[in-house]
Amino acid sequence: MTSHDVVASLRRILGIKKIGHAGTLDPEVTGVLPICIGKATRISEFLMESPKKYQGQLTLGKSTTTQDFTGETTERVDVYGVTKEEIERVFESFIGEIEQVPPMYSSVKIHGKKLYELARQGKEVVRKPRKVTIYDLKLIGCDLEHNNPTIDFQVVCSKGTYVRTLCVDIGNKLGYPAHMSKLVRLESGSFNLEQSLSLEEVERHVKENKLDEILVPMANSLPDFQEVVLSDEEILNKVFNGQVIRVESLKFDEGIFKVVNRDGKLVALYEKAKDSLIAKPIKVFK
């Protein structure tokens, strides 16, 4: 099931058209897929910027057309002599800002065409590397006793990181072809696997009129944003009308911040420039 399929199913279950997701999951990947409903679709761009945490497995000695287990095998070799210590050294070399070449089987566009469309036609084009950040990369297990060893890992990475490409690049540094054999998204920003629900569970909550029990308030979904609580009706009216507001007493100097009312409801996102005494509206939620 694709991320688009999940959204389509939820539109049917909830009877709401304005639904979107905050970060595509490839069909073969399971795990956390944040869903935005109604007004919350307007903050999806901020949710997508959040780091993602995955648990995955790479297999050494075999490469595929798609860089994962769904593709056709392009190379197969026996693997000898790889050690846990060597794997850990290679993992450490990937932490920080790195460059990745997007895989051919991806939705990246070149000259108006998606790469996977070209790949399905048997074409390969030159792709420019992109900068991504690997915040953490941990070895959590490995089976090195076979000709095609498996390596289990957890990675925390920035938006736009292709974990399957990371698996291939790790294999290259170890001296062998490789592909991603498993992947689960454990976290996306403030959302984690433990609080996630299946489509069946969502449908049950709807039938029992308990949908509110599983919805996360917009303000809570942006925990990394500074928060300003406004109770002054005159200033709140300015916010609702999308006007600039004076912010002399803020404890932070610059950036996007949440404006909430006394009930904790998100009413707007504002941005303050460095050394400025005013803040300008980014999003207003009427």
Catalytic residues: 26
In 3-state terms, what secondary structure has residue 147?
A: coil
Q: How far apart are CA 266 and CA 33, in angstroms?
A: 22
Residues 6+ apart with CB under 8 A from 197: 205, 214
CA dihedral 268, 202, 20, 114 (to 10 degrees): 150
Residues 6+ apart with CB under 8 A from 276: 247, 254
Q: How far apart are CA 30 and CA 184, in angstroms?
A: 5
DSSP E strands, the chain: 19-21, 30-31, 35-37, 52-60, 62-64, 73-76, 96-100, 109-110, 113-114, 130-143, 150-157, 178-188, 191-192, 226-229, 245-246, 255-260, 266-272, 278-284
Helix (H) or strand (E) holding 168: helix 163-174
Given a contact cutoff of 8 angstroms between Cβ atoms, the answer to whether 67 and 167 are in contact is: yes
Helix (H) or strand (E) holding 237: helix 233-240
In 3-state terms, what secondary structure has residue 97?
A: strand
| Residue whose token pair is 């404006």 | 259
